[in-house]
Amino acid sequence: MKITVFTPTYNRKHIILSLYHCLQQQSFHDFEWLVIDDGSTDGTEELFAALLGDKNPFPIRYYKFENSGKQKEINRALELARGKLFFIVDSDDLLTPNALELVDRWDAAMPADGKYCGFAGSDGDAQGHPTNPIFEAPYMDATFFDRDPHSANFIGYDRPWVLYTDVHRAYPYPEFEGETFITEAVVWNRMAADGYRIRCFNDVIYLREHQEIGLTNKIHEILVNNPQGYGLWIKEMIAQSNYNWKQRFASYYSFYCEMRHKAPLGEIGRYVGATKIEMAIVGAVYKIKHPLG
């Protein structure tokens, strides 16, 4: 199996059929569609019972678990995946008809002696116009750290990432009891820190349309409601980017302002790896700036 197209879904019965029809129209068929239902209550399970009876040039594998969040479902999917390549396609998005054919072509052309975690095309809008930076050459080799807009090789914040399953499997998402989300950037940055590169192509293969109730439009609220995962991301960014003391303090202070009603000062500090002295200073500065609380 060449490609695992993985779709995590939750109460998207009204829209996931569009993705299904899109996959039926692909010009390349050596792929599986792996769907993990994160506890839907809208009839998604019944829909897939019907879809599994359809004749398609690709297999569909559907699993349903209790609601636990997208990143935990990615960990499950990586264990279940049969493809050499692992491509996450959200239930509210679509692929261009030649997307998987291009993925296969890019894989065949990847250097055998390079340390790559995978590659990516470009996102497009509803009309197919690229929404990621376009390079002068057909592609650019970068790392996930180049998602930073200050990077000389800025590749965009997000792209349709196609990762090698065995590499991705070696970087599971950290899981915290009682939390259902951690940003994918934690795993991406760990790959970059370990020296993995990502090859980014100009071709549009992914048509992105985020729903109002989706993760992208609620990302800050979701981060704040998952403080241990949020704190881990900040802690690792501080270390990976070699923040100076001013940058470190600004990060701790900002995190404290967001979390001060959710956890005690010391616990907030543990989430981001700050010392007791650093957090005491953070707390004192906050009281000076906000004397009324």
Tell me what the mean pLDDT of segment 190-200 comes to. 98
pLDDT of residue 195: 97
pLDDT of residue 217: 53
* 69 vs 214: which has the higher pLDDT: 69
Tell me what the mean pLDDT of segment 143-164 comes to. 96
pLDDT at 235 over 60: yes
Look-up of token digits 């129209």: 25
pLDDT at 260 over 80: yes
Read off the pLDDT band of 202 (50, 70, 90). Answer: very high
Q: Count Cβ neighbours within 10 Å for each residue of 244-263 and write b for 16 or more, e otherwise.
A: eeeebbebbbebbeebbeeb
Residue in 169, 183, 205 with CA at minimum distance from that of residue 23 = 205
Tell me what the mean pLDDT of segment 115-132 comes to. 94
Residue range 3-209 forms a domain whose CATH class is alpha beta
The residue extents of the domains of the chain are: 3-209, 219-289
Asked which of 69-83, 113-127, 164-178, 215-229 is least confident by mean pLDDT, the reply is 215-229
* 293 vs 230: which has the higher pLDDT: 230
pLDDT of residue 127: 86
Within a 10 A sphere around the Cβ of 2, how many other Cβ atoms?
16
Read off the pLDDT band of 115 (50, 70, 90). Answer: very high
pLDDT at 215 over 70: no
pLDDT of residue 66: 85
Q: What is the pLDDT of residues 168-180, one digit of tens each?
A: 999 999 999 999 9
Average pLDDT, the chain: 94
Q: Is the pTM of this model over 0.85?
A: yes
